[in-house]
């Protein structure tokens, strides 16, 4: 990939910005790791965390020695960090496998769910929001806004239960849980390539997406209402442009930037929220894993999940930040302060 220098220093500035943000991200990850480590290990007996409850006295002593639990805190942390960098985040008590592997195994399912939900939010939320913004006093718009209030009021788990009841139990159209057939795409199992897989994907994806669709609708509507009154829209009309062009090009492009960035940031929360949806729909993703692990007191998995999720979060934030400065030409060409 050749980097086309623009000759005005903008590419160089962008690179500096990216590097700076990356460094910041690393710092934040380290801080978070200390917090999580401290939280999990200090509140509560460290030996309880790493040693299964049903180990006997001798086991216990051996493990304490080998895991270094008798060492002072900072040394334990460093050992933890050292192992973490090598990908070893402990072994699950329940499955007897490395925690990291367990999580990575389940990640595709969660990501697939999250991406589908995001897609639904964009495809449905943005057009509906624009309509509500362009005709704020119409009946359609008022119903859309009322619907969006329901969308983010209703707790996700309740909606999940409801739609299972309606679509699976009463109407029997769609399955009530679990993941469908999967095919491998570049070595990663995905379920949207099969009809059965799609059937199983629909309800949980819609459930997860509901909150985000409401958010998208409200954001887009607010953005549209603001943009519509701007001078450049009036000027576009004064030029004699067709209304459709004005809406689809002038208005949309201005709205899209903040809306997409917010939705992008919300992607992280989609992954977090999948905890609920996966539990309700018995979808075998990371979220279900952690809830089960918390209930089964499988602490290494809990720690591993938290660390990984926090990292994913920070990476998502970073990517969205960069994306924002790429999309908005006003930001792109100035010196962006980290």
Partner 1 sequence: MVSNTPTLQVEDLKTYFYTKAGVAKAVDGVSFSVAKGEVMGLVGESGSGKTVTGFSIIGLVDPPGKIAGGRILFDGEDITSADGERMRRLRGRRIAMIFQDPMMTLNPVLRIDTQMIEAVQAHDKVDRQTAFERSRDALGQVGIPSPEERLKAYPHQFSGGMRQRVAIAIALLHKPDLIIADEPTTALDVTIQGQILYEVQKLCRERGMSLIWITHDLAVVAGLADSICVMYAGRIVETGTIADVIDRPLHPYTHGLIGSVPSHNKRGQPLAQIPGMAPSLLSMPQGCAFHPRCPRADDKCLVDPAMSTPRRPDHRVRCFHPHLEDAA
Partner 2 sequence: MTAATDFKEVDAAVAEAPMVVKDQTPFRRFLSDFAESKVAVAGFFTFLIIVFIAILAPWISPTNPYDLATVDILDSRLEPGEKMMTGTVAWLGTDGLGRDMVSAMFYGLRISLGVGAVSGLIALCIGVCVGLASAYFGGRVDTIIMRIVDLQLSFPAILIALVLLATLGKGVDKIIIALIVVQWAYYARTVRGSALVERNKEYIEAATCLGLSHNRIVFRHLLPNVMPPLIVVGTVQVAHAIALEATLSFLGIGLPTTEPSLGLLISNGFEYMMSGKYWISIYPGVALLVTIVSINLVGDRLRDVLNPRLAR
Return contacts of 147-151, CB within 8 angstroms, 24+ apart. 147/214, 147/217, 148/213, 148/214, 148/217, 148/218, 149/214, 150/214, 151/210, 151/211, 151/213, 151/214, 151/217
Chosen from partner 2, partner 1, none, partner binding at 245 (C-beta under 5 to 8 Å by type): partner 1
Distance CA 108, CA 311 (A): 16
> Residues touching partner 1: how many (CB under 8 A)?
23
Please choose, out of 18-26, 158-166, 248-256, 279-287, the segment that lies near partner 1 by the rule CB under 8 A.
248-256
Segment contacting partner 1 (CB under 8 A): 177-185, 186-194, 234-242, 259-267? 234-242
Among 70, 79, 183, 237, binds partner 1 (CB under 8 A): 237
Q: Which stretch binds partner 1 (CB under 8 A): 88-96, 124-132, 240-248, 305-313?
A: 240-248
Q: Is 254 in the site for partner 1 (CB under 8 A)?
A: yes
Answer whether 113's CB lies under 8 Å from 279's CB: no
- With beta carbons less than 8 A apart as the criterion, state whether 273 and 288 touch: no
- Residue closer to partner 2, measured from CB, 160 or 192: 160
3-state secondary structure of 67: helix
Among 14, 40, 210, 216, the residue binding partner 2 under the rule CB under 8 A is 40
Interface with partner 1 (CB under 8 A), residue from 4, 86, 239, 337: 239
In whole angstroms, give the CA distance from residue 59 to residue 82: 24
Distance, in Å, from the CA atom of 27 to the CA atom of 33, rounded to the nearest integer, reads: 10
241 forms part of the interface with partner 2 (CB under 8 A): no
Site string for partner 2, 89-118 (x = CB under 8 A): ------------------------------
């Amino acid at each position: 990939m050749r980097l086309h220098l623009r000759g005005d220093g903008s590419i160089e500035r962008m690179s500096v910005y990216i590097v700076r943000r990356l460094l910041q991200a690393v710092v934040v990850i380290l801080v978070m790791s200390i917090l999580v480590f401290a939280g999990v290990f200090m509140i509560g007996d460290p030996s309880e965390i790493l040693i299964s409850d049903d180990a006997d006295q001798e086991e216990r002593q051996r493990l304490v020695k080998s895991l270094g639990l008798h060492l002072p805190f900072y040394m334990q942390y460093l050992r933890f960090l050292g192992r973490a960098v090598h990908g070893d985040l402990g072994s699950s008590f329940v499955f007897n496998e490395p925690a990291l592997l367990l999580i990575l195994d389940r990640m595709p399912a969660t990501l697939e769910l999250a991406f589908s939900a995001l897609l639904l939010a964009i495809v449905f939320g943005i057009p509906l929001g624009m309509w509500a913004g362009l005709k704020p006093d119409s009946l359609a718009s008022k119903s859309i806004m009322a619907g969006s209030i329901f969308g983010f009021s209703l707790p996700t788990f309740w909606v999940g239960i409801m739609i299972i009841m309606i679509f699976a139990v009463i109407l029997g159209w769609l399955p009530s849980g679990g993941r469908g057939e999967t095919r491998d795409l570049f070595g990663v199992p995905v379920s949207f390539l099969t009809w059965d897989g799609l059937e199983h994907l629909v309800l949980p994806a819609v459930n997860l997406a509901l909150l985000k669709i409401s958010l998208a609708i409200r954001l887009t509507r607010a953005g549209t209402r603001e943009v519509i009154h701007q001078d450049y829209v009036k000027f576009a009309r004064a030029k004699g442009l067709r209304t459709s062009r004005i809406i689809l090009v002038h208005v949309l492009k201005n709205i899209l930037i903040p809306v997409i960035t917010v939705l992008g940031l919300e992607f992280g929360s989609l992954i977090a929220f999948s905890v609920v949806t996966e539990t309700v729909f018995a979808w075998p993703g990371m979220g279900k894993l952690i809830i089960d692990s918390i209930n089964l007191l499988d602490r290494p998995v809990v720690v591993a999940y938290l660390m990984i999720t926090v990292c994913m979060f920070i990476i998502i934030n970073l990517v969205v930040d960069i994306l924002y400065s790429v999309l908005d030409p006003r930001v792109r060409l100035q010196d962006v302060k980290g």
